């Protein structure tokens, strides 16, 4: 992003605000009102002064802060309608000007297209399409819960749980901010229900809340709202602590470990959560969760340079994988996934050959649409292994694939690793393949 791009984008954002006759505080209140309408939990209760400071940074030429995914969507919803409330998204509209501003600020074309799609859907369906895949029955259930949380039975919980599962199944194929909006009313319903029925300690409800909070934490991380992510994982961990099956809390903690690592780079904090996950995993019946917990712990140790500890944790993970059963209710983690962890640990240990073989096996198995985010991550790790083996051109070939996957999924971890691998390619910066990779990254990922 150039200074001229930054200046142009900031100026357009200021002109949009002033064109509506708004101060920074006015725009902050408008954004919070829309967040409340759409149940964007991380913003709906935020102080106006806090949002106002964020708005001011967007309009600063010297501050490099730009609207993130959630704010981009809220701004799009705001400027897609005239002050009279009419939808206006064509040439010359405030919405079109907003898209120009975001382009100047580095938002990639794919993201701009997603905003147009999201606004078009909400405009046609009065936000109803944004709540898909929630069935009409589930939407009615949520509305009923919001009116009277005392209405709780098995069918209510079942419908909400099915909706959470459906939303989770769309990860990798649907923009994270849209999934966040779909999940938000369910999270809000869970909070209402758990608060009211806390004395009942209903395991089914607690499990629903645990899964919903954990997924919401993952989505908040992907949309770069790390503060909300940490709070949601804390809620998920606390709620899971009331479940009889400790595998559920271990599952939350393994995800929390990786989010903590990639959001903060705090290895010690991540290690603390990873250790707790292994303890809980061995108190529960799921071998899949035990294997994942050991694999996550191994990665943290490898990143910390503790090769022996990482090898021991991997050994426990492989031994546990051998005990997996087809009826494991927490299934999903298997040898194919473990190969990815094993390969990454080998990369950190300096064994590029072993890393390449394991990562290649893992990548070959990640073929389903729901594997797209993970495929982007493993692709970048495998690319780095190829570079370590002396194949910079082969590394770049695979990175091009990883860039396309990451542009499609919006995966934050894969984007981080692409940047890392690109830095390792700097000795070849005079080569044509390096320039082509840079162009590809700039065209599809810059601004994410």
Report the pLDDT value the prediction gives residue 2, as an integer from 0 to 100: 41
Q: What angle do CA 413, 36, 75 make, to 5 degrees?
A: 60
Classify each residue of 145-176 as buried b or exposed e, where b means 16 or more C-beta atoms within 10 Å of its C-beta: beeebeebeeebbebbbebbeebbebbbebbb
CA angle 234, 239, 244 (to 5 degrees): 135
Distance CA 232, CA 180 (A): 13
- Which single residue is written with the structure tokens 């994410």? 448
- Output phi, psi for 175, to 5 deg: -50, 135
pLDDT tens, residue order, the chain (448 aa): 444 488 899 999 999 999 999 999 999 999 999 888 776 666 777 889 999 999 999 999 888 888 988 889 899 989 999 998 888 888 889 999 999 999 998 887 777 887 887 777 665 554 444 545 566 667 777 777 777 777 677 888 888 999 999 999 999 888 888 888 888 888 988 988 888 776 555 899 999 999 999 999 999 999 888 988 999 999 999 999 999 999 999 999 999 999 999 999 999 999 999 999 999 999 999 999 999 999 999 999 999 999 999 999 999 999 999 999 888 988 889 999 999 999 999 999 999 999 999 999 999 999 888 899 999 999 999 999 999 999 999 999 999 999 999 988 889 999 999 999 999 999 999 999 999 999 998 877 764 4
Sequential DSSP letters for 350-378: T-HHHHHHHHHHHHHH--SGGGHHHHHHH
Three-state DSSP class for residue 59: coil
DSSP secondary structure string for all residues of 375-439? HHHHHHHHHHHHHHTT-HHHHHHHHHHHHHHHHHH--HHHHHHHHHHHHHTGGGTTSHHHHHHHH
The pLDDT, as a whole number, for residue 143 is 74
In this predicted structure, what is the pLDDT of residue 42? Answer: 67
State the pLDDT at residue 117. 77
DSSP code for 32: H
pLDDT confidence of residue 153: 78
Considering the entire predicted model, what is its pTM?
A: 0.81
């Amino acid at each position: 992003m150039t200074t001229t791009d930054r200046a142009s984008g900031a100026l357009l954002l200021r002109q949009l605000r002033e064109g509506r006759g708004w101060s920074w505080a006015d725009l902050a209140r408008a954004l919070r009102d829309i967040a409340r309408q759409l149940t964007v939990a991380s913003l709906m209760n935020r102080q106006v002064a806090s949002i106002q400071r964020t708005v001011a940074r967007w309009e600063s030429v010297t501050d490099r802060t730009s609207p993130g995914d959630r704010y981009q969507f809220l701004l799009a919803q705001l400027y897609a309608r005239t002050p009279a409330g009419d939808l206006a998204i064509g040439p010359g509209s405030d919405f079109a000007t907003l898209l120009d501003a975001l382009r100047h600020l580095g938002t990639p074309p794919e993201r701009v297209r997603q905003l147009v799609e999201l606004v078009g859907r909400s405009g046609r369906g009065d936000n109803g399409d944004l709540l898909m895949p929630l069935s009409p029955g589930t939407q009615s259930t949520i509305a009923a819960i919001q009116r009277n949380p005392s209405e709780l039975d098995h069918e209510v919980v079942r419908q909400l749980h099915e909706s959470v599962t459906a939303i989770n199944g769309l990860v990798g194929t649907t923009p994270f901010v849209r999934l966040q909006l779909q999940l938000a009313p369910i999270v809000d319903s869970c909070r209402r229900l758990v608060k009211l029925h806390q004395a009942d300690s209903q395991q089914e409800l607690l499990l629903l809340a645990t899964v919903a909070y954990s997924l919401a934490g993952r989505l908040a991380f992907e949309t770069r709202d790390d503060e909300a992510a940490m709070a949601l994982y804390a809620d998920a961990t606390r709620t899971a602590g009331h479940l009889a099956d400790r595998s559920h809390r271990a599952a939350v903690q393994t995800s929390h470990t990786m989010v903590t690592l990639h959001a903060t780079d705090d290895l010690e904090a991540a290690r603390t959560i990873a250790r707790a996950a292994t303890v809980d995993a061995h108190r529960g019946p799921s071998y899949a969760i035990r294997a994942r917990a050991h694999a996550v712990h191994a990665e943290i140790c490898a990143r910390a340079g503790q090769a022996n500890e990482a090898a021991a944790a991997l050994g426990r993970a492989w031994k546990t994988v051998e005990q997996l059963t087809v009826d494991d209710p927490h299934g999903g983690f298997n040898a194919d996934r473990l190969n990815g962890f094993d390969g990454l640990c080998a990369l950190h240990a300096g064994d590029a050959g072993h890393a390449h073989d394991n990562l290649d096996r893992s990548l070959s198995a990640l073929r389903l649409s729901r594997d797209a985010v993970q495929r982007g991550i493993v692709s970048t790790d495998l690319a780095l292994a190829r570079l370590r083996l002396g194949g910079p051109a082969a590394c770049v070939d695979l990175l091009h694939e990883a860039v396309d996957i990451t542009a499609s999924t919006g995966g934050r971890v894969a984007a981080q690793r692409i940047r890392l691998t690109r830095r390792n390619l700097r000795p070849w910066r005079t080569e044509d393949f390096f320039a082509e990779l840079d162009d590809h990254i700039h065209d599809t990922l810059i601004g994410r």
